[in-house]
Amino acid sequence: MDTRSLTTPFTDDDVASLRAGDLVRISGVIYGARDAAHGRMVEALERGEPQPVDLRGQVIYYVGPAPAKPGHVIGPAGPTTSGRMDPYTVQMLEQGVKGFIGKGYRSDAIKAALVTYRAVYFAAVGGAAALLARHITASRVVAYPDLGPEAIRELTVVDFPAIVVNDVWGGDAYKKLEVGD
């Protein structure tokens, strides 16, 4: 299977061209954020405040990286469980997010929202945090520094490997892999 190269920010055409099961390499800027940062972003929206970064066309990576060793831009940076972000996902989609990277399944409601809002969910390989960090060439905290590893980070990535799990057409790579389907 061929691997697709994509550059952020994504357009509607970019995400519409992807299908569940596609292998991709993402380059450009993505944003790292986990539970606590998502909670703060949603609270800001509820108060009518702007987001700390422009999320239109962006990809959110569910990651809380470990501290960087000397000479490295980031420590191990593996994906966290995506289902924990489901309560915040629709609000992020409403802000124009076009992709999410994590691990594990998404709820049926989130899979439907990805179709409605024309966005995709990617999986990165869990347990490969040190290898994934090699694809991150720059990292800086852009919001909520008091959250430590859960702060929002702007990450510059080069050929970051991922698999399309849920696409804008309702495709689900995990269902394709289930025995008996």
- Residues with a catalytic annotation lie at 38
Residue type at 35? D
Residues ≥6 apart with Cβ < 8 Å to 116:
93
Alpha-carbon span 65 to 179, nearest angstrom: 34
What Å distances lie between residue 81 and 34, 45, 87, 116, 181, CA to CA? 9, 23, 13, 23, 25
Alpha-carbon span 138 to 181, nearest angstrom: 42
